[in-house]
């Protein structure tokens, strides 16, 4: 039998607010354990939560950017369970009436039609603290509770079970990741858990319209692992069914070292969270004016910008895709175009030398030592014939190292292109005299030797001879 995989993703997005969701404690990562706590996030009796407005603003932005409706009156709920990192005994989350509902993202895999993936809901919630194990200050080989992370704001983005392969899941996830980082509401760091995903996976016979029983895979903290975990899980379920077994609803953990998932708890052991509205928090009312203001303040989103690069700047689709990979890169590119004018020339350099140098040195585009203005200046030197495209690469490397302006480097190192035919002719004459054999070969019809002469002239001029002039003069002279 053939099987159809079905996948739905639940993504936790940690928000980049300065303070926590229900108290004023800082959210900074990596501080001394329990140094960023107060009675609210410690869960002391009687302490009252106060909602951080920034969290609501970020949630609205995320919702509008994923085509959701914003709920006019949304409710916070208590999700009750016991764990040492959760001193209150419940997590404040949203259950019924989450802030964003019924959205979607369009994905497109190479060579396939655009496909719309439904987003069921986006809700706000607080994170729990964490347990630390080992040798701790004042505690040999023990376990401690660090509540610095408790009450850190999260969005949970829940998709419909619309995804049909691991590739579709990764494509959806990458797009969501791009949007939240683009909006500046999440740093997107998957290793540190700022953007983490649970994958719900089931299989059903092809043609069936009843979804199979799903397993929920936790702890997949990279795009690569998401793909691996889903593929492993699909195959595990198919093998199980083929062997006459049935898939049970359970939570599984992905082990990146083994590339496998294993059972964590079955449905029978699943929590009954006994959700109920949190009496400490009033309903959150968001009027149309607030929503419209947020909509107006949204930046141009990656997809719109990609389209504009194609239609307005005439970039090929590939370039537009690469240059909108993140917001800072697309802004760098646009600043370069504004200063130079030729979008394709700027695109080539940004995707070429700039990207290569950033990767080699592990530098972020925000810290690029060659600013868009300096890059534009370099391109103008090529346009004006002052330097050749080849020399420009040398100049670029020097700009990268020293941060100097290109015209300064060209002057200091005497890199001005030689276009003067007299000077080039002199070089050519010398090379022809020294290579009489090759001249004969060329004249005898072996045209390949032409490249040899070009190479010799460029070498003799230390790359400074204007290639167009060299070609023309060589053609004339070699003819004899």
Name the binder of 323 from Zn ion, ligand ADP, Mg ion, none, CB < 5-8 A by kind. none
**Which residue from 8, 188, 302, 406 is in contact with ligand ADP, where contact means CB under 6 A?**
8
How are the residues of the chain apportioned to helix, strand and coil, as percentages rounded to the nearest 5? 40, 20, 35
Q: Which is nearer to Mg ion, 120 or 417 (CB)?
A: 120
**C-beta of 120: minimal distance to ligand ADP in Å?**
6
Q: Which is nearer to ligand ADP, 252 or 305 (CB)?
A: 252
Q: In which order are the strands placed within the sheet that holds 215-220?
A: 69-70, 100-107, 115-126, 153-159, 3-14, 195-205, 215-220, 250-255, 260-266
Name the binder of 23 from Mg ion, ligand ADP, Zn ion, none, CB < 5-8 A by kind. Zn ion
Name the binder of 372 from Zn ion, ligand ADP, Mg ion, none, CB < 5-8 A by kind. none
**Which residue from 57, 85, 156, 160 is in contact with ligand ADP, where contact means CB under 6 A?**
160
Beta carbons of 352 and 375 less than 8 angstroms apart: no
What phi-psi label fits residue 279: left (phi over 0), alpha (psi between -120 and 50 degrees) or beta?
A: alpha
Secondary structure class of 4 (helix, strand, coil)? strand
- The alpha carbon of 355 is separated from its chain's Cα centroid by a whole number of angstroms, namely 15
With contacts defined by CB under 5 A, name the span among 34-42, 188-196, 341-349, 468-476 that binds Zn ion.
Answer: 34-42
Q: Could you say whether residue 158 binds ligand ADP (CB under 6 A)?
A: yes
Beta carbons of 73 and 97 less than 8 angstroms apart: yes
- Binding to Mg ion in span 418-437, by CB under 5 A: none
**Which residue from 87, 161, 369, 463 is in contact with ligand ADP, where contact means CB under 6 A?**
161
Residues written for the chain: 480
Compose the 422-441 pattern: x for residues touching Zn ion by CB under 5 A, - for all others.
--------------------
Name the binder of 347 from Mg ion, Zn ion, ligand ADP, none, CB < 5-8 A by kind. none
Secondary structure class of 365 (helix, strand, coil)? helix
Compose the 212-231 pattern: x for residues touching ligand ADP by CB under 6 A, - for all others.
x-x-x---------------
Q: In which order are the strands placed within the sheet that holds 90-93?
A: 90-93, 77-80, 276-277
Which residue in this structure is represented by tokens 């490397």?
397
DSSP 352: I
- Binding to ligand ADP in span 181-210, by CB under 6 A: 200-202
- H/E run at residue 467: helix 467-479
Beta carbons of 128 and 86 less than 8 angstroms apart: yes
Beta carbons of 73 and 284 less than 8 angstroms apart: yes
What's the CA angle centered on 342, arms 341 and 346, to 5 degrees?
A: 105
Q: Which is nearer to Mg ion, 9 or 365 (CB)?
A: 9
Name the binder of 41 from ligand ADP, Zn ion, Mg ion, none, CB < 5-8 A by kind. Zn ion
Q: Which is nearer to ligand ADP, 110 or 269 (CB)?
A: 269
**C-beta of 151: minimal distance to Zn ion in Å?**
6
Q: Could you say whether residue 41 binds Zn ion (CB under 5 A)?
A: yes
**Which residue from 159, 261, 324, 466 is in contact with ligand ADP, where contact means CB under 6 A?**
159
- The alpha carbon of 422 is separated from its chain's Cα centroid by a whole number of angstroms, namely 53
**C-beta of 251: minimal distance to Mg ion in Å?**
8
Q: Which is nearer to ligand ADP, 57 or 160 (CB)?
A: 160
- Binding to Mg ion in span 3-62, by CB under 5 A: 10
With contacts defined by CB under 5 A, name the span among 41-49, 294-302, 345-353, 387-395 that binds Zn ion.
Answer: 41-49
Q: Could you say whether residue 103 binds ligand ADP (CB under 6 A)?
A: no
Rounded alpha-carbon distances, angstroms, from residue 275 to 44, 77, 91, 93, 279 = 21, 6, 10, 9, 12
**272 Cβ partners below 8 Å, 6+ apart?**
none
- The radius of gyration of the chain from alpha carbons, rounded to an integer in Å, stands at 30
**C-beta of 273: minimal distance to Mg ion in Å?**
11
**Which residue from 50, 131, 211, 285 is in contact with ligand ADP, where contact means CB under 6 A?**
211
With contacts defined by CB under 5 A, name the span among 21-29, 76-84, 288-296, 323-331 that binds Zn ion.
Answer: 21-29
Rounded CA separation 358/374 (Å): 16
Q: Which residues bind Mg ion (CB under 5 A)?
A: 10
Q: Applying CB under 5 A, which residues contact Zn ion?
A: 23, 25, 38, 40-41
- Chain residues that interact with ligand ADP, rule: CB under 6 A: 6-10, 158-161, 200-202, 211-212, 214, 216
């Amino acid at each position: 039998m053939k099987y159809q995989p079905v996948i739905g993703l639940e993504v936790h997005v940690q928000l980049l607010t300065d303070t926590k969701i229900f108290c004023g404690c800082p959210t900074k990562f990596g501080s001394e354990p329990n140094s960023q706590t107060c009675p609210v996030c410690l869960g002391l009796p009687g302490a009252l939560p106060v909602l951080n407005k920034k969290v609501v603003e970020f949630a609205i932005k995320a919702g509008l950017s994923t085509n959701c409706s914003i709920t006019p009156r949304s409710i916070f709920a208590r999700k009750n369970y016991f764990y040492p990192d959760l001193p209150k005994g419940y997590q404040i989350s949203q259950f019924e009436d989450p802030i964003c509902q019924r959205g979607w993202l369009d994905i497109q895999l190479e060579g396939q039609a655009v496909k719309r993936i439904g987003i069921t809901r986006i809700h706000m919630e607080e994170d729990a603290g964490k347990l630390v194990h080992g040798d701790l200050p004042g505690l040999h080989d023990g376990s401690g509770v660090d509540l610095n992370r408790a009450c850190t704001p999260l969005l949970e983005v829940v998709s419909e079970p619309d995804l049909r392969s691991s590739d579709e899941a990764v494509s959806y996830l990458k797009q969501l990741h791009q949007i939240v980082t683009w909006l500046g509401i999440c740093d997107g760091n998957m290793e540190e858990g700022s953007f983490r995903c649970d994958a719900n996976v089931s299989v059903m016979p092809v043609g069936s319209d009843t979804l199979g029983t799903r397993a929920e895979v936790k702890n997949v903290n990279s795009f690569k692992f998401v793909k691996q975990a889903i593929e492993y899980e699909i195959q595990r379920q198919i093998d199980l069914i083929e062997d006459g077994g049935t898939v049970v609803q359970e939570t599984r953990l992905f082990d990146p070292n083994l590339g496998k998932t294993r059972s964590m708890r079955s449905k029978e052991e699943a929590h009954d969270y006994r959700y109920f509205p949190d009496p400490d928090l009033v309903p959150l009312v968001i009027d149309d004016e607030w929503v419209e203001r947020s909509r107006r303040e949204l930046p141009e989103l990656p997809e719109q910008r990609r389209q504009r690069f194609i239609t307005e700047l005439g970039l090929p689709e590939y370039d537009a895709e690469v240059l909108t990979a993140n917001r800072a890169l697309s802004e760098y590119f646009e600043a370069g175009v504004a200063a130079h004018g030729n979008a394709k020339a700027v695109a080539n350099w940004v995707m070429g030398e700039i990207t290569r140098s950033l990767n080699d040195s592990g530098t972020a585009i925000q810290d690029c030592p060659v600013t868009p203005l300096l890059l534009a200046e370099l391109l103008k030197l090529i346009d004006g014939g002052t330097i050749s495209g080849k020399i420009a690469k040398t100049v670029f490397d020097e700009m990268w190292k020293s941060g100097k302006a290109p015209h300064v480097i060209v002057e200091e190192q005497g890199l001005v292109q030689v276009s003067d035919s007299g000077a080039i002719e002199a070089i050519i004459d010398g090379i022809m005299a020294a290579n009489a054999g090759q001249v004969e070969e060329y004249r005898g019809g072996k045209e390949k030797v032409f490249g040899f002469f070009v190479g010799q002239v460029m070498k003799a001029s230390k790359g400074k001879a204007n290639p167009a002039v060299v070609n023309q003069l060589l053609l004339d002279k070699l003819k004899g």
